[in-house]
Amino acid sequence: MQLLKDFDIYIFYKINRGLQNSLFDILMPFVTNYRNWYFIILLTILLFIVRDWKKGLVTILLVIIAVSISDYFNSHIVKYFFGRLRPCNKLPIETLNLIIGCPHNPSFPSSHASNIFALSTVLAYRYRRLLIPMLFISVLVCLSRVYLGLHYPSDVIVGGIFGIFYGSVVIYLYNQIIKKHERTKT
């Protein structure tokens, strides 16, 4: 177990310090802030609503449900169960590339990673063409969390896995409801 922790810290420093540059110092705080993504994601969904408004509205509803479940479970239950300190709260501050403030809530798993992967899972399922762009955005958000010293790599990896799970559960339940509805119509 200690070997995994040491490897996690090693990779953390490779990203947090090893990738440090002036472009990332500007880009990563922008990437990590959800408010900067709302417009892009909503614009994308609105473009699809114009093409097929029913599918677009259902997609928005599924995204809201998936991200809400993800955020609630990670932020209010799972993080406090594990209680892992963030790297910016545990590692020596002088060894970190810390550009933005350091929250004091637990680190594991990353809610940012879980939420963006839940959103991406639903969008990619509903609109296959969005798979690669959403995967890119999701990985970039995860990278930003480590680069900014807010999460260990394992936090964002597990958060991403949880997000895919939450998104998949929402899709599965939606499909079950649709199947049941179709059976009652006939």
Note the CATH number of domain 19-185.
Answer: 1.10.606.20
Q: Quick one: tokens of 20? A: 């440090």
CA distance 2 to 57: 47
Q: Please list, residue by residue across 107-130, b when 16 or more beta carbons sit within 10 angstroms of its beta carbon and e when fewer do.
A: bbbbbbbbbbbbbbbbbbbbbeeb
pTM for the whole structure: 0.89
Residue by residue, pLDDT tens for the chain (186 residues) are 788 888 998 999 899 888 899 999 999 999 998 888 778 777 877 777 788 888 888 998 999 999 999 999 999 999 999 989 889 888 777 877 778 888 889 999 999 999 999 999 999 999 999 899 999 999 999 999 999 999 999 999 999 999 999 999 999 999 998 888 777 766
pLDDT at 186: 61
pLDDT at 23: 94
HEC string of the chain equals CHHHHHHHHHHHHHHHCCCCCHHHHHHHHHHHCCHHHHHHHHHHHHHHHHHCHHHHHHHHHHHHHHHHHHHHHHHHHHHHHHCCCCHHHHCCHHHCCCCCCCCCCCCCCCHHHHHHHHHHHHHHHHCHHHHHHHHHHHHHHHHHHHHCCCCCHHHHHHHHHHHHHHHHHHHHHHHHHHHHHHHHHC
